Each structure stands twice: as structure tokens, then as C-alpha cells.
Structure 1
């Protein structure tokens, strides 16, 4: 009996040790395990390891549907998609290793410090801000292209000058466009994305930044420019994640491009990559913190505005592609926001669905 008792006691101790180790592993931060806080194993996706069923929030579900659509998967179901665990591990390693991360951390735009200083100066006029961007011919051309896009265009005639854009769009609008013009050339320099995904990602990113800025300024009483720039960095993080994925897939042994693998990488790596860029560009701590918390279950302040921006942009992009009814989109927003705010924000991000950015 004593021997049996010792065996039972030993088994209990071993079980406690194993359970404790597992608990400590699960308690590790997402950065330690290379996963975004909100990332989950896809339900009904065929994994190379055991599948895990989880409940997916509506906001995540809509964003996932948009990403799959951009990756060429038109069905909202994810059944049968494969996730190549080795590819995922290799891409995460490429994004986080010191010897490779510089490739996926773009150089800060030269005019960014001047722009941030100007937009935070209450005495600075939109004309003086436009003068800063006008000192760079490429960025000036980008600004005018965005000013004439579907999201910002306010009249039938093209905007021919930065000064005219200032007059038509107003102070907040021109600040949003200028910061987008600073980030777009960095995104366009990424050659690892196919043309369709790149186009849809840029349209989505503009909508995220627009909705996040409006929500931050009007609802959270936060800095709208900070929310807008953080939203743009989320799109940049997604673009660089795709670049790292293309680099890994091009190395021996050659592996096929699996949408399920790319989906998981985008969900896991976009926000941490955006956070790393914000740190590298020496942006305000509030922006860095918001990007770090964008996947939290109950975010506040700028992080909440970013999540609302992602939800609104995903719904708008799906609606524009004929994949979501307007009533469904408004219902999804109303589940997260007061109904009048949801209706107003939906009009803001969807009013130009027929146009191209």
C-alpha cells in the first residue's frame, strides 16, 4: 500500500509540474512566442498540427474575409485552407532576427519629423504644412493623386495644386492626405505583393486610417493625426509581412503560395511589425502603445480607434466588392458602437465605394 501511495503521489506531483509548465508557457507574452495578441488558430483550417476550434469575434471575421478576398479566396469559408507551419516559423524568424529585420524596417521618410512638428503646432497653417510636402516632388505628386482619389475628392474637377487641395479639403483633411503621401511611397516600394493584393491593401489602409482618425478625434478625444498615422503603419506592417513571405517562399526548398499560410502571417505579424516601425521611426510613445494594444480584448483610446478603423474598413471593402450587404455592415459596426456613431462612420468610409484610390 505504501508503494502504491508513493506511485500515486509521484504521479500527482508530475502532473502538477507539467501543468505548471504549460501554464507558464501560455502566460508568456505574444512577443515572446512570435504571435500577435489577438491571433488565433483559424477555425476549420487544415493545420499541419492539430486543429483547434475557437470562437472568432465579428470584427476579426470581417477582417479575415477581406484578407482572404485580397489573397484571391472569394469564399468567406476557410475550410480546406492549409497553414504551412514551417513557412510561418521562417517568416516570423525573418521579421524578428536582427540580421534580417532591417530589410523589413523601412527608413523613416525624411519629412516626417517636420510634418509631426507642424501638425502638432496649433499656430501652423495648412498652407505651411503643404509647403513642407511641396519641397519633395515625388511626395507632392503622391499627395495630389490621393487628394483626387475617391475617398477625398469633393468636386468634379481635378485638384491641380497643393494650395487648392488645402482650400477644398480643409485643415484636418490635408494633414491626413500628407501623412498618407509620406507612407504610400514606402508601401509601393514593396515588390513582394501581387498587384491586386497591393491595390486592395492600400485602399483598405486608407479607410482604416480615415476611420481611426475620425473615431479618435470625435469619440475618444484623442489625437486624430496619431490615430491616422498608426493606421497607415498597420497597412505598412501588412505589406512588409507579405514581402517577408515572398522572400521565404522564393528560397529553397521552393514551396507553393498557400492563402491559409499568408492569412495567418498577416494576422500574426502585421501589428507587431507596425510597432517595430513606429519604434524605429521614433514616433510618440502613445502611438507605439496603441499598436501594441490593437489586439486587446478591451482596448481604450487610440488602440480602440484603430480596432474600430479596421472593422469599418473591412466592412467597406467587402461591401465594395459585393461580398457584404450594407445592412450587415452597419449591424457589425452597431455591435461595437452606438448606433448613431456606427451610421455616421459607415457613411464616412463607404460613400466612395465605387471609386479607386
Structure 2
């Protein structure tokens, strides 16, 4: 895994956006807590129940314990499709031609469809629909293709659920991970953080949460999970620790591991802050799309600055 991750790194830095007007201090924290609470309630609406404190603590301890043995958790990970590392080798070569990339991509019809769909997404907003692979690759550029390949490679990692609530939650959590990765990469330049590192951290952050959901389901009532917002906040925190432990086990770049582990903490680096903002924007996008939060809700108008609201708009219809 380390080799293909290394090949993905080295993405060009994008121009820094205007990240002014951000809510600060306690107000920002309170808004983030509200977003997390609303997101957890929505995520567990079909399976949440009132658990005793002992049950909640037991579940959190299970996740903490697994974080001490990330090899056991990462053993669930499927193989990466062979074409992905090959394409990443090509992308690492600055001299590779557009035609060579096109010939590599066109060997997989599913990947061709993914590339064309990505080029037509709300993120790129082409003036006219893009229908050819060459035009799509030109629109994405090498960095855009690198991020798309990372998302495709990670997709099986975030679809490990088998039954019950974990199976229901998996596509929702994966959808949030995709949007978090994109939003984090958009926030990164304004915080002097690496664009692609932010994208990797956004994709990886939720892996521990899915493992936690599987553990919780097996240890609690069948098909159920504690539904309180307070438990959700603690579960998000300990599952990020598990995600960071697995990322370290896979030899991810140390700054990506640190960003996952310290997001939403006083020790947050620039990359961690980009991840935290991307995570909040992505959660709001899902809540808006599910009609849980309105576009003009104070969580949006007071919680996001003007650049972040534009980022929120870019996440619309960006589902892969």
C-alpha cells in the first residue's frame, strides 16, 4: 500500500482561496458540535436507541482497544485494483503524454465512465457537457485524475459492512467521506496545507467510524446503536483515533496521520484544520440534501464564511 500512496503524493499546490470571515473560538466550536450532533442523529435515525452509560462506555472501549492493534482492523481491507497503481506510476512521470494516459484509462470501461462523469461534475462545471475521454482528461488534469484514482482505490475500504445498521450506514458514511475529501482539498491552499494530502486525509478519516459501527452493532442490540448525540461525539473522536492508527500502520505520510488524529483539537496542524473544515462542510451538505438543514440555517450562514459557502455549493451533486 505504501508504494501507491507515495506515487499519489507530490500534487501541485493550488492558488490560495480567501478564507476570511471564519467564525472563531468558542462560537466556531459550538457550531461544529451542533453540526456533528445533527449529522449523528440523521445517520442513526433508523437504528438509534437509548443505551445505558455502561453499554456506551463498553462500545467506546472496544474501539480504543482496536486502535492499539491496527493490523487486525486493516486486515479487513480488500486488494486495490491492479490498474490503479499502474496509472499512478504514469501520473508520477511529468513527461507522460495525454495520449498515453488516455490509452491506459480506456482499458477499463468503468474507469472511462468515472473520468467523464467527474469532468462533468459540479466541481469542474464545464461550459458544455464533456463526452470524450480526451476532453475529460484535459479538464481534470493530472492532479484531478490523481484524486479520482485515490477515491476509486479507497472505495472498497469504506464498504466493509455486512449486515444491519452498519450496512445501512456504510454508503452514507462513504458519501460523506468523498465530500469531505473534496472539501478538505478546497480548503487546504488557504491554510498552507497540501491539496492532495488533505484529500487523502478526508477519504481516510471515516474508516475507523465504519469499523466502530460494526463493533457497536455486534456488542449492542441487534441492528441497533446508541442514538444520543453525546455518544456520537465521543464515537467520532475515538474512531478518528482508530483511523489514524490504521493510516500509520499503512505508512501514510506522518502529516496525514497527524491531521486525522488531531482534527478538532488545539494541537491541529494546518492540514488538520483543513480536514476539520472540510468535514463540517461535507456534513452540512448531506444534511441539506436530506432536508434536515435548510440552506439559510444559521449553521450555514453563521458557521461558514463566504468561501466555505462556495465550497458547500461545489459539493452539490458531486456524488461519485
Q: TM-score, normalised by structure 2?
A: 0.71
Superposed, 1:34-183 pairs within 5 Å as: 57-72=30-45, 83=53, 84=55, 85-97=57-69, 100-103=72-75, 122-124=94-96, 154=126, 163-183=134-154
- Alignment partner, residue 8 of structure 2: none
Partner of residue 207 from structure 1, selected from 179, 199, 204: 179
Q: 1:248 aligns with which of 219, 231, 235?
A: 219
Gap change, CA 1:70 and 1:256, over 3 Å in 2: closer
Question: Which residue is 2:271 aligned to?
Answer: 302
Contact 1:105 1:280 in 2 (8 A): no
- For residue 236 of structure 1, the aligned residue among 181, 185, 207 is 207
Rate the CA distance shift 1:86–1:332 in 2: closer, same or farther, 3 A: same
- Quick one: structure 1 residues 112 and 233, their matched pair in 2 at CA, closer, same or farther if it must change by over 3 Å? farther
Distance 1:170 1:86 in 2: 47
Cα distance in structure 2, aligned partners of 1:93 and 1:165: 45
> Would the aligned equivalents of 1:294 and 1:306 in 2 still touch at CA under 8 Å?
yes
Q: 1:122 to 1:306 in 2, by over 3 A?
A: farther
Q: Deviations over 1:228-269 (max 9, x none)?
A: 01110012232222233234348xxx7953223972563133
Partner of 1:185: 156
CA contact (8 A) 2:119 2:139 kept: no
Work out the CA distance in 1 between the residues paired with 2:270 and 2:94: 22
Indicate which of 227, 244, 250 corresponds to 2:198: 227
| 5+ residue gaps, structure 1 | 1-54, 335-339
Partner of 2:23: none
Select between 59-68 and 128-137 the one with higher mean Cα deviation: 128-137
Aligned counterpart for 2:226 among listed residues 254, 258, 276: 258
Q: Using the TM superposition, give the Cα deviation of residue 291 of structure 1 relative to its aligned residue in structure 2, in angstroms.
A: 1.7
Change (3 A) 1:118 1:317: same
Q: In structure 2, how many angstroms separate the alpha carbons of the residues matched to 1:156 and 1:139? A: 21
Structure 2: distance between partners of 1:256 and 1:171: 43
Partner of 1:42: none
**Corresponding residue for 1:39?**
none
The answer (yes or no) to whether the contact 1:312–1:346 under 8 Å persists in 2 is: yes
1:341 Cα offset (Å): 2.2
| Structure 1 vs Structure 2 CA RMSD | 3.9
For residues 107-163 of structure 1, the C-alpha deviation after alignment (integer angstroms, 9 at most, x for no partner) is 67766766666555554566656666666777667666766766667588685x754
Distance (Å, rounded) in 2 between the aligned partners of 1:194 and 1:158? 37
Matches within 5 A, 1:248-327: 248-249=219-220, 256-260=224-228, 263-264=232-233, 266-297=235-266, 299-327=268-296
Give, in angstroms, the shift of residue 181 of structure 1. Answer: 0.7
Gap change, CA 1:229 and 1:99, over 3 Å in 2: closer
Please state how far the C-alpha of 1:312 moved relative to its aligned partner. Answer: 0.9
Deviation at 1:313, TM superposition (A): 0.8
1:83-111 CA deviation, whole Å, 9 max, x = no partner? 52223323432443478434456667766
Structure with higher Rg: it is 1
Distance, in Å, in 2 between the alignment partners of 1:170 and 1:214 is 16
Q: CA deviation at 1:185?
A: 2.0
Number of corresponding residues: 287
Gaps spanning 5+ residues in structure 2: where? 1-27
Please list the CA deviations of residues 150-191 of structure 1 after superposition, one character each: whole Å capped at 9, or x if unmatched: 6667588685x7545313434433222111111012222332
Aligned twin of 1:47: none
